[in-house]
Amino acid sequence: MQFNDFDPARFLLDHWQKEPLLIRSPWREWINPLEPDDLAGLALEEGVESRLVVQGPAGLSLEHGPFREDRFQALGATPWTLLVQAVDQHCPDVAALLESFRFIPSWRIDDVMVSCANDAGGVGAHFDQYDVFLVQGAGRRLWQIGTECDEATPLLPHEDLRLLAQFEASQEWILEAGDILYLPPGLAHNGVAVGDGCMTYSIGFRAPSRSELISRWCDHVLDSQADDIRYGDPGLAVQSNPGEITAAALAELQRLALDKLCDPEGFARWFGQYNTAPKYPEIDWALPHPLTLDEVLAMAAAGIPIARNPASRFAFTRAETGEILLFVDGQCFDCPGTAARFAQDLCAMDNPCLPQELAENGDCAALLLALCNQGSVAFDDED
């Protein structure tokens, strides 16, 4: 599905991380990519992250999946909302939704969470720390937005849900199928289903915090240190007061501490691997029987196209040497020459074209073999 009436450049200039925007069905044709029963079926499976929020006499309660089928049958008319995370990894039609939002860099996209609710179902007034596009898939939902929030905003005492202690709507809209509501980070909002069969696709974006980056980067630097260089002062002179830590000593100590941390190339390589690491690392997509290079070349020569695994994350950076550093599912691949162009195509398209004369290009062939065997791409042989 593609947008018919939407200006990405204007949106980024006027609204991205600035203010909310209601976009009335911008699609050429909107087709709901998933049925409620299929979403409920996913919530029954092990390895699928799912939650159920139920409105009871004492307020909202949260249950975690996987669920039994009779759990849904027992809900009745009680307001409820089923939420399933990363549905794009399990449903190609849901993954296809992301193509319309590629005007945001791919490394920022997290996943597509899908919710289904009966009449009056919702998860309560809250705020998120990331941007989100809320695409109404089927049915209707009332969305209310309030003030900007932060970590100091009071919350209700609740073991499982981060619900706002106070919420006053400043604007509200009813979204119909195909409508989209964009919300920047930190904006209070509340969504309530209007009627049964309400489905919403939440396209969320990754926003690493400063503390997360510092912590993970420092851990990586410490783990990768081959030696432990110590402070030295071979030009030491007699001090007037031995209790003073001199400015020169402090400068050298700080240089020693920051030398490895202030490494742009090292940080780029680490962040690419960190950012593309699988969302669910417990799922192993590697082929049980690895392909050989000859098998890969034979399928390529037969004209069989390749496709990316919807669960895989692809990104690249440009090294100072001119090479492309390709990051796929937490792995880094150094790609020179033709392989660099192939790497960029892999990041740009779900169904990239194979380079011509693949057999004569050892770097491209080796890259394709590695990606196939780790389950990040596959030959799409419908026969």
> Domain check: are 172 and 223 in the same one?
no
In sequence order, what DSSP letters do the residues of 307-326 get, joined into one string?
EE-TT--EEEEE-TTS-EEE
Which pLDDT score is estimated for 27?
94
> Domain check: are 160 and 62 in the same one?
yes
CA 117 from centre of chain: 24
> Domain check: are 154 and 218 in the same one?
no
Query: Taking Cα atoms as reference points, which of 20, 61, 57 lies closest to residue 158?
Result: 61
Average pLDDT, integer, range 188-209: 96
Which pLDDT score is estimated for 382?
63
Q: What is the mean pLDDT of the chain?
A: 94
Would residue 270 count as lying in a domain?
no
In the chain, the amino acid numbered 105 is P
> Which residue range is the domain that position 299 belongs to?
293-379
> Domain check: are 154 and 256 in the same one?
no
> Domain check: are 182 and 308 in the same one?
no
Q: Which tokens belong to 71?
A: 């759990």
Q: Which tokens belong to 140?
A: 């209707």
The pLDDT-based confidence of 58 (bands split at 50, 70, 90) is: confident
Give backbone dihedrals phi and psi of 28, rounded to 5 degrees, phi first.
Answer: -65, -40
Average pLDDT, integer, range 86-110: 94
**7-24 burial by CB neighbour count: b if 16+ within 10 A, else e?**
eeeeeeeeeeeeebeebe
> Domain check: are 199 and 343 in the same one?
no
> Domain check: are 103 and 175 in the same one?
yes
> Domain check: are 223 and 161 in the same one?
no
Is the pLDDT assigned to residue 321 strictly greater than 90?
no
> Domain check: are 120 and 223 in the same one?
no
H-state helical runs in the chain: 8-14, 36-42, 69-73, 92-95, 210-224, 247-258, 264-276, 293-301, 337-348, 362-373
Which pLDDT score is estimated for 98?
94
Is the pLDDT assigned to residue 159 strictly greater than 90?
no
Which pLDDT score is estimated for 143?
98
Query: Taking Cα atoms as reference points, which of 36, 32, 72, 70 lies closest to residue 52?
Result: 72
Total domain count, the chain: 3
DSSP 132: E
Is the pLDDT assigned to residue 383 strictly greater than 60?
no
Please state the length of the chain: 383
> Domain check: are 137 and 223 in the same one?
no
Average pLDDT, integer, range 273-302: 94
Average pLDDT, integer, range 8-22: 96
> Domain check: are 136 and 160 in the same one?
yes
> Domain check: are 24 and 149 in the same one?
yes
pLDDT tens digit sequence for 343-382: 999 999 888 888 887 888 889 999 999 999 999 999 987 6
Would residue 47 count as lying in a domain?
yes
Would residue 310 count as lying in a domain?
yes
- CATH number of the domain enclosing 345: 3.40.366.30
Query: Taking Cα atoms as reference points, which of 382, 379, 383, 378 lies closest to residue 286?
Result: 378
